[in-house]
Structure 1
Amino acid sequence: MQQTIAGIQIPDSRLAKDAADILREHGNDLLWNHSNRVFLFGAVNGKQAKQNYDLELLYVSALFHDLGLTKQFSSSDLRFEVDGANAARQFLQHYDIPDATIQLVWDAIALHTTPGVAEHKQSEVALLFHGVGLDVMGDGFEQFPKELRDEIIKMFPRNNFKKEIIPAFYEGFKHKPETTFGNMKEDIVQHFRPEYRNKNFCHCILHSPWTE
């Protein structure tokens, strides 16, 4: 029987179950609960705004969005968001899914920490972005119905999330801090390594090989 949480039916297709199995295998309880909350927060927002979006694609995007933090899917030189997006692409290519649809999932995951861009793209991309923002930073907290918020948290508890997610982020990319240049995850590196400095954009311009 399909499970319904906060008025949202959890996808139970083979694709959805396989995606869930991958997160269960390579993630942990922190990422499992967070990813499911992100999906539900995004799905509820989409439903209430009467947006047209693919529930299954949003689900897969949410389950994969932080897989780039895990040892199994982390590269040596790419942003963790891109690692997760690449993992989702490789996963979806085993199913009969159009390339354009796979690209949509890739964009949703790769852009989920990119404010000013993600919220203006397709519904699945924007809803994932908003779901992440609500769960991590409380964006839109007051506007989200309390009873639905409580129902989601009951099913997927936060369990000291505010304290645990920051070191979890750092563990995912501490071996490649340079990949945080120009994005918000640079703050995570600075939190643990105050002495670390990424390259500076103005320095890059002024010290480029151009003569003028």
Structure 2
Amino acid sequence: MRPGPLVLPDGSAPTAALEVATAHHSAAMLNHSLRAYVWAAALGEAEGVAFDAELLYVAALFHDLGLVPVFDSHTVAFEEAGGHVAAVFAAGPGWTAGRRARLSEVIVRHMWPHVEVSADPEGHLLSRATATEIVGKEADALPADFRAEVLERYPRLDLAERFLACFQAQAARKPGSPAGRAVRSDLAGRMAGNPLDAPA
């Protein structure tokens, strides 16, 4: 089934989150974050997973913010750092403490190898969508014409080179982190086979 039209959440929190992500991410990383939301929402829609679109969207925009030098932490993994930044941000739009904690959880869990959908639908969808984005996992579950539409609106640019360099830097400084484990499990080789980076 083809996903519906590309519609992004609106409102004060999504608008402010996009402003923050745009200010701090490169064009390639910003597009990656937007595509992560679109893939996640499309998977949720296709599989009948009920999810909070606003929560998922803000999490997608912030999920890699911990890779940005000004937010990077020498003490914790990048997804934990990004989760903390997102939780602080979400106080501005007036999110409750519980909702801010959920936002942080979703961001941290996007690096887990598996997130149970019944326990955390947004974390489950974002984890799968980011795997699609980076190594092409489940890319064929999305219709070809839909993939082409999304890639035209949000082109990949130099994402592969930027993302791999970020993860290799994280692995060098934080070898015990999920990013470190990903690099040691041939992230570069798995990224090289991503069908989303294949010529059209």
Map 1:77-96 onto structure 2 (within 5 A): 77-96=75-94
Query: 2 CA distance for matches of 1:118 and 1:50?
Result: 15
Q: CA shift at 1:189, angstroms?
A: 6.7
Quickly say closer, same or farther: Cα 1:123–1:8, change in 2 above 3 A.
farther
Q: Which residue of 1 aligns with 2:134?
A: 136
Residues 117-126 or 93-102, more deviating = 117-126
Q: CA shift at 1:184, angstroms?
A: 4.8
Map 1:133-212 onto structure 2 (within 5 A): 133-171=131-169, 173=170, 176-180=173-177, 183-188=178-183
Q: CA shift at 1:83, angstroms?
A: 0.5
Q: Which residue of 2 aligns with 1:108?
A: 106
Q: Which runs of 4+ in 1 moved over 6 A?
A: none
Residues 150-159 or 62-71, more deviating = 150-159
Quickly say closer, same or farther: Cα 1:117–1:49, change in 2 above 3 A.
closer
Task: Choose from 5, 14, 33 the match for 1:16.
Answer: 14
Instruction: Structure 2: give runs of 5+ residues left out of the alignment.
Output: 187-200
Give the match's secondary structure for 2:85: helix
Q: 2:18·2:61 contact (CA, 8 Å) conserved in 1?
A: yes
TM-score (structure 1 length as normaliser): 0.79
Give the match's secondary structure for 1:91: helix
Query: 1 CA distance for matches of 2:100 and 2:16?
Result: 16
Query: 1 CA distance for matches of 2:70 and 2:118?
Result: 31
Query: 2 CA distance for matches of 1:144 and 1:185?
Result: 29
TM-score (structure 2 length as normaliser): 0.83
Paired-residue identity, %: 24
Quickly say closer, same or farther: Cα 1:147–1:109, change in 2 above 3 A.
same
Question: Which digits, 9 at most, give the CA deviation of each residue in 1:92-137, with x for residues without a partner?
Answer: 1222222222222111101111113455631111111111011111
Counterpart residue identity of residue 167, structure 1: A
Q: Name the structure where helix makes up a greater proportion of residues.
A: 2
Quickly say closer, same or farther: Cα 1:67–1:179, change in 2 above 3 A.
farther
Quickly say closer, same or farther: Cα 1:147–1:6, change in 2 above 3 A.
farther
Q: Which residue of 2 aligns with 1:194?
A: none
Counterpart residue identity of residue 123, structure 2: V
The CA RMSD over aligned residues, in Å, is 2.3
Query: 2 CA distance for matches of 1:174 and 1:115?
Result: 17
Instruction: Structure 1: give runs of 5+ residues left out of the alignment.
Output: 192-212
